């Protein structure tokens, strides 16, 4: 996948420039720089967990490994923000926050946005794929679009 030269349609406002990460989450952000979607998995019991919390709720161990995902999934739910909550949002509505069930990581949902799809065409259950938004030299964000 190549990095698009122009921003995606229906992107949310760019409110940030740097990832805020710790030892548990750095591998995810490093992989995004290579445009690779990953998900954290408990090295002890194998349970995926998002966000990559510091404890596994199933076995109470802390260690994680990040596994590569195919970057496809199913749209679990979404909303269409049509009303700008704050003045700085005015040029960015509508935008489409979304929850995605990612293939290859059962029990994990990515919270992101649907881009490049007309709002009226977005449906729960539709197949989606990840697209990459290179925000800065240090931050690349996954968005999702119709597969």
User: Is residue 125 part of the contact set for another protein (CB under 8 A)?
Assistant: yes
- Rounded to whole angstroms, how far apart are CA atoms 101 and 122? 15
Handedness of CA 108, 109, 111, 116 (dihedral sign): positive
Please tell me whether residue 109 adopts helix, strand or coil conformation: strand
CB count within 10 Å of CB 39 equals: 23
Partner from Zn ion, another protein, none binding residue 147, C-beta < 5-8 Å depending on class: none
User: Is residue 33 part of the contact set for another protein (CB under 8 A)?
Assistant: no
User: Is residue 21 part of the contact set for Zn ion (CB under 5 A)?
Assistant: no
User: In angstroms, what is the minimal distance from the CB of 22 to another protein?
Assistant: 4
Binding part of the chain for Zn ion, among 20-28, 45-53, 95-103, 137-145 by CB under 5 A, reads: 45-53
User: Between the CA of residue 53 and those of 15, 31, 61, 79, 93, what are the distances in Å?
Assistant: 23, 18, 11, 25, 31
- Rounded to whole angstroms, how far apart are CA atoms 129 and 31? 16
User: Is residue 73 part of the contact set for another protein (CB under 8 A)?
Assistant: no
User: In angstroms, what is the minimal distance from the CB of 2 to another protein?
Assistant: 21
The contact set with another protein (CB under 8 A) reads 12-13, 15-22, 24-25, 28, 50-53, 57, 76-83, 85-86, 88-89, 92, 94-95, 97-99, 107-113, 119, 124-125, 141
């Amino acid at each position: 996948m190549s990095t698009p030269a122009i921003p995606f349609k229906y992107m949310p406002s760019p409110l940030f420039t740097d990832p805020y990460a710790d030892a548990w989450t750095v591998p995810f952000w490093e992989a995004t720089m290579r445009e690779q979607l990953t998900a954290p998995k408990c090295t002890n019991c194998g349970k995926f967990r998002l966000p990559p919390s510091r404890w596994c709720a199933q076995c109470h161990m802390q260690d994680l490994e990040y596994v590569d995902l195919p970057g496809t999934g199913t749209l679990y739910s979404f909303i269409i923000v049509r009303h700008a909550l704050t003045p700085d949002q005015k040029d960015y509505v509508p935008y489409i926050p979304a929850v995605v069930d990612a293939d290859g990581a059962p029990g994990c949902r990515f919270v992101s946005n649907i881009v490049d799809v007309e709002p009226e065409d977005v449906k729960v259950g539709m197949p989606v794929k990840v697209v990459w938004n290179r925000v800065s030299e240090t931050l690349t964000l996954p968005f999702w679009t119709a597969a």
